[in-house]
Structure 1
Amino acid sequence: MPDQTPTPPAPSPVMPPSPQNAAVEAVPTDQSPDQPPPALPQAGDLAALRGEIDRIDTAMHDLLMQRAGLSAHMAASRAKGTAPSFRPGREAAILRRLLARHAGPLPRGVVVRLWRDIISSSLAQQGPFNMAAPGTAEGVEAQLARGHFGLLTPLKLYPTPSRVLSAVASGEATVAIMPAPAEGEPMEAPWWVQMEAPRLQVVAGLPFLATREGAEPQAFVVAPIVPEPTGRDRTLLRLEPEAEHTRPRIAAAFAAIGLPTRWLLRRDLPNPMALAEVQGFLAPDDPRLASLPFQRIQILGAYAEPETEDLPA
């Protein structure tokens, strides 16, 4: 948002939008932040300043009601057809567009928090949406789930990651919030080994707004949908290496086809398995994957690169 208050549109009654207006949700638009702002009251005139804030609050509320009306109309008219209402790629594009035009003293984190709640409310209007996560309510995954999808989105906790994946696979939950893979995971098969791909896919990394540049996601969102490219993405791949495929050799094989790995994990028990992350969005039919020297390779999904709370200096 600009640091000077733009002239808001005149309040209008919330009417059921027309089918033509329903398409607005699918095509983000922007208005120039360079419009001249209205003259503000003097700093010492607190009553006038508060009145201006009240006027802006009313205009913002009108727009929120109009937006909710569009979402409700889309749900009622089935404007999206068979397409999923949950589109994390589009959500990332919305937030990136807003962050790119943002200016002024309002922190970027507040912008993301506001729009995450708006987006989650819209999801709830489109149909049932709930989350599953391993651990307890105080755990990292539960906290990230609440931070991304909002406090009002139902969350069910399970004792193990495998049970969480089962909940999503069976339709008991809409999305799973899984811990980010890491060195030193428990000896039992990690969730990325058990995940039923391509039916289930990684579609988002959490948090979307990182505290610092270069920070890695702390959790991944898994859902039974196909990820969409956003222009700046990362792809996760699961492969079955031979015994001689050490981590350096696996990394070299990816680099040889122009896909250097950002990070790489390997598990040897009970069977050799590896997980690699590469820069960019890969489709399953990408011809480069066929030249890799592994018995089997699967794309486990892709997610939008995170933004940062502060712009790089």
Structure 2
Amino acid sequence: MPPASPSVDALRREIDEIDAAIHDLIMRRARVVERIAQSKAGAKVFIRPGREAGILRRLVARHQGSVPVAAIVRIWREMIAAMTLIQGPFAVAVYAPDDDRRLWDIARDHYGTVTPLAPANTAQAVLRALAEGSATVGVVPVPEEEETDPWWRFLISDDTKTPKIIGRLPFCSRPGQKEGGDALILGAVPLEATGQDHTLLGVELAQDMSRGRLKDMMEAVSLPVGWFRIFHLPGGGGSVHLIEVEDFVDGDDARLGALAEKLGDALVRVLPVGAYALPITLEARKA
């Protein structure tokens, strides 16, 4: 085989220089993360899913050239996950019963190769791992209709230690990507608006109420409703509802007060039990 032309050798040397520069910037980024960790010493919460979503959205929006944008997202997810570990212990409990690896693969894709993942046979076991401190966040399936013992009902609580829904996975999907089931991320993290969000409201009622009537009340106070999940409490003791609202709603939102007025004595409590940045679908031309 004839020797490579000098021009190709020169280009390869340029690639080596670029690789070194990229590596230098990664190490510099890690040093900045270390300084952030020092400034938050003792803090139990050091993840910001909303900020992570903003980083990925900006990268996708500015990306150009022949490198698939899906590869860019994967590189940054690996880097974000690795640098999260710099700030303190971080582990993920994943709903993965028996040989069902759908959510496991989604979680691994999001949290990278170095983050510790632990399987859990039930969504309730994920909640226990969060309560016991063996996991920082949990990954559970999006609730289905008519579940006999829904995990989400335990989120409808006034206890400030109760975890919240803080993300939806996969965050970046590609056209034609193999279906694996959507997932939600749980964690004891303050909810953060990103400008493109959905909120999960927990509504507990002292009596049963039709889905249509409750939806009408919510939309009358400008709470745009997505999907509903309902669990009837045993013994005819009322019902709890998990309702997706197509907007960001925090605990001080005036619309919650307006809804409470409409529900009157039927209402036991209404509170945000989670919010997540809307996932993005990568364009086919970039994927």
Query: TM-score when scaled to structure 2?
Result: 0.84
Match of 1:193 among 153, 175, 183: 153
Question: How many residue pairs align between the two structures?
Answer: 267
Aligned partner of 2:241 among 270, 274, 285? 274
Question: Which residue does the alignment assign to 1:237?
Answer: 201
Go from structure 1 to structure 2 and tell me whether the alpha carbon gap of 1:45 and 1:184 turns closer, same or farther (over 3 Å shift): farther
Aligned: 1:63 with 2:25: yes
What is the 5 A alignment of 1:45-84? 45-75=7-37, 77-79=38-40, 82=43, 84=45
Contact 2:141 2:181 (8 Å CA) reproduced: no
**Any residues of structure 2 matched to 1:3-82 within 5 Å, and which?**
45-75=7-37, 77-79=38-40, 82=43
Q: Is the 8 A contact 1:71 1:122 kept in 2?
A: yes
Of 137-146 and 98-107, the range deviating more from structure 2: 137-146
Q: 1:190 to 1:107 in 2, by over 3 A?
A: same
CA distance in 2 between counterparts of 1:303 and 1:282 reads 11
Residues 1:243 and 1:83: Cα distance change in structure 2 (over 3 Å): closer
Q: Which amino acid aligns with 1:211?
A: R
The residue that corresponds to 1:33 in the other structure is none
Q: 1:308 corresponds to which residue?
A: 281
Q: For the residues of structure 2 that align with 1:243 and 1:44, how far apart are their CA atoms?
A: 80
Structure-2 separation of matches of 1:240 and 1:312? 45
Alignment of 1:110-121 (within 5 A): 110-121=71-82
Say if 1:205 and 1:217, in contact at 8 Å, map to a contact too.
Answer: no
Deviations 1:223-255 (A, max 9, x none): 112121111111001112465521111211111
Pick one of 104, 108, 125 that aligns with 1:142.
104
1:264 maps to amino acid: F
Equivalent position amino acid for 1:62 in 2: D
Q: Distance in 2 between matches of 1:44 and 1:254?
A: 70
1:73 shift after superposition? 3.1
Tell me which amino acid in the other structure corresponds to 2:91.
N
Change (3 A) 1:310 1:216: farther
Q: Which amino acid aligns with 2:54?
A: A
Runs of 4+ in 1 over 4 A off after TM superposition: none
Describe the SS at the equivalent of 1:177: strand
Answering whether residue 191 of structure 2 is matched by residue 227 of structure 1, we say yes
Cα deviations by residue, 1:15-46 (Å, 9 ceiling, x for unpaired) = xxxxxxxxxxxxxxxxxxxxxxxxxxxx9943
Identical positions, percent: 38
Provide the residue aligned with 1:6 in structure 2: none
C-alpha distance in 2 between matches for 1:151 and 1:299 = 32
The DSSP-based 3-state class of the residue aligned with 1:264 is: strand
Within 1, Cα distance between the matches of 2:17 and 2:182? 40
Q: Which runs of 5+ in 2 are unaligned?
A: none
| Aligned counterparts of 2:256 and 2:181: Cα–Cα separation in 1 | 25
For the structure 1 residues 204 and 66, does the alpha-carbon distance in structure 2 shift closer, same or farther, using more than 3 Å as the test? same
* Amino acid in structure 2 at the alignment position of 1:90: R
Q: Shift of the alpha carbon at 1:269?
A: 5.1
> Structure 1 residues 212, 256: closer, same or farther in 2, change over 3 A?
farther
Aligned to 2:223: 259
Give the secondary structure class of the aligned counterpart of 2:51: helix
Q: What secondary structure does 1:229 align onto?
A: coil
1:172 aligns with 2:134: yes
Distance 1:216 1:303 in 2: 19
Quote the offset at 1:117 in angstroms.
Answer: 0.7
* 2: CA distance, partners of 1:81 / 1:90: 21
Paired residues of 2:175 and 2:283 also in contact (CA < 8 A):
yes
Tell me the equivalent position of 1:286: 253
Q: Which has the higher contact order (CA 8 A, sep 6+)?
A: 2
Return the TM-score normalized by structure 1. Answer: 0.77
The Cα shift of 1:200 comes to 1.0
Q: Which amino acid aligns with 2:283?
A: D
Cα deviation 1:25-77 (Å, max 9, x = unaligned) = xxxxxxxxxxxxxxxxxx994333322222211111111111112222333x3
